[in-house]
Amino acid sequence: MLESKRNTTPLQSVQLVHSGEDYFSRLERIINETETEIHIQTYIFENDETGKRILFALKKALQRNVKIYLLLDGFGSLSFPNEITTQLQQAGGNIRLFSPLFSASSFYIGRRLHKKVVVADGKVALIGGINITNRYSGSTYKKAWLDFAIEINSPIAKEIQSHCKANYFKKKSGLRKKIRAITELEDNVTIQILQNDWLNRKNEISKAYIQSISNAQKTITIVGSYFLPGRKLTKALLKASKNNVQIQLILSGVSDLPMTRRASCYLYSKLLRHNIELFEWDQSVLHGKAMIVDVAWSTIGSFNLNNLSSYASIEMNVGIQSVDFAQLFNNELQAILLQCQKITKDSFQTKNTIDSRITNALAYFITRGIEIIVTYLPYTRFNHS
């Protein structure tokens, strides 16, 4: 998909990356070119064909005496084989699980390491929503899950590495530190690393979404997998629409979480009443999390527009103030829109039978209830730890 437009950005400091071979070839190259130290922190790392490909590159890096720090989520990467962990450790690698699902004293469920970040030698970084598994790689017969990342070649990579090191070694002072924005004068682009880790008093991504939507003058385009925005963000979207801002939402037509998709559909009536344009991507699972405002400011990362990302999970996004980058990304999203199913008031009314309304409402309230429980549990644990 969109092969002809890939890697055409004139920017050097930030480059748009797609799920599929684009992402994994870059990741493999970064590992192969690492000279001293690399950090990989991700939600899912599976021992499938894609995972084995990345593990092979990591093992070769260990042979070059590269320091490797691999931090995997204890729930998302629950299937990561113990024998591979042992192999990496015996070869000199550093690997641990973030909040194992079970421990001697606790059952961890809500607070997850959901960010996907790679940083090498403090010089280059990959940040987005793409996990290390075949689902995001795709094949000749099956499209990769639709998602995005950003490759950063900038001095800000050094600060990202410091943050990852603090995360790996559980240094709270480092985690609470704000990563300062970097302005690249040559490319006329400002790069922000935005974090959400509510228990460590960080809600930069949530604030950036709400502030950018509130300040929008003309257009907002959102790619929203697992779209269940909270009250503040919903209010900001509806107010922007009332102020005649054109809002386009690219949502899941196919999802790995059918009940969550049904819950999102419960919101369609309200969104359509406020003239918000809805599009469903159904050619593969939609997993992207991104937004463009006024074709000037963009954000891409791991942050979903729901309470889990806002209050429970550890998330990381890149915020990019650049007209050139926003235009490039917007062109791609507009091409994606042409491949989506547009949901209009008439088409939705036809499908919105009594049965579907009841199903969607049940899915919405059950999903929101689950989110409240899962976001509450890590908070109580945090207060008693």
Asked if the structure places residue 354 within a domain, the reply is no
Number of domains observed in the structure of the chain: 1
SS3 110: coil
148 lies in some domain: yes
Residue 377 domain flag:
no
Q: Is residue 353 part of a domain?
A: no
Region of poorest pLDDT, from 43-52, 56-65, 145-154, 375-384: 375-384
Task: Provide the token pair at 290.
Answer: 């991104």
Q: Is residue 375 part of a domain?
A: no
Tell me, yes or no, whether 129 lies in a domain.
Answer: yes
For Cα atoms 80, 84, 89, give the angle at the middle one, nearest 5 degrees: 120
- The predicted pLDDT at position 372 comes to 78
Q: Is residue 151 packed enough to be buried (19+ CB in 10 Å), middle (13-18) or exposed (0-12)?
A: buried
Is the C-alpha dihedral spanning 299, 301, 306, 310 positive or negative? negative
Considering Cα of 370, then 372, then 373, then 374, what sign does the dihedral take? positive
- pLDDT on residue 8: 44
| 369, part of any domain | no
Residue 165: both structure tokens together: 């090191």
Residue 365 lies in a domain: no
| Range(s) of the domain holding residue 75 | 3-345
pLDDT of 330 over the 70 cut = yes
Q: Which two tokens stand for residue 28?
A: 């493999």
Number of continuous H segments (helices) and E segments (strands) in the chain: 14, 17
In one letter, which amino acid is 209?
Y
Pick the closest to residue 118 from 27, 236, 248 (CA basis): 27
Listed in sequence order, the residues at least 6 apart from 315 whose beta carbon sits closer than 8 Å to its beta carbon are: 114, 115, 195, 196, 197, 205, 301, 302, 303, 309
Q: Is the pLDDT of residue 335 over 80?
A: yes
Question: Can you give the CATH number for the domain in which 332 is found?
Answer: 3.30.870.10
Q: How far apart are CA 281 and CA 257, in angstroms?
A: 14
For residue 370, what pLDDT band results from cuts at 50, 70 and 90? confident
Burial of 235 per CB tally in 10 Å (0-12, 13-18, 19+) = middle
- Per-residue model confidence as pLDDT tens digits over 232-255: 999 999 999 999 999 999 999 999
- Residues written for the chain: 385
Q: Please state, in angstroms and rounded to a whole number, the distance separating the CA atoms of residues 130 and 302.
A: 8
Which run of H or E residues covers position 58? helix 49-63
Q: First vs last Cα of the chain: how many Å apart?
A: 47
* Confidence (pTM): 0.91
Residue type present at position 82? N
User: Residue 288 in contact with residue 254, Cβ under 8 Å?
Assistant: no
State mean pLDDT over 279-298.
97
pLDDT of residue 6: 46
What is the pLDDT, as a whole number, of residue 385? 38
Question: What percent of the chain clears pLDDT 90, i.e. is strictly above it?
Answer: 75
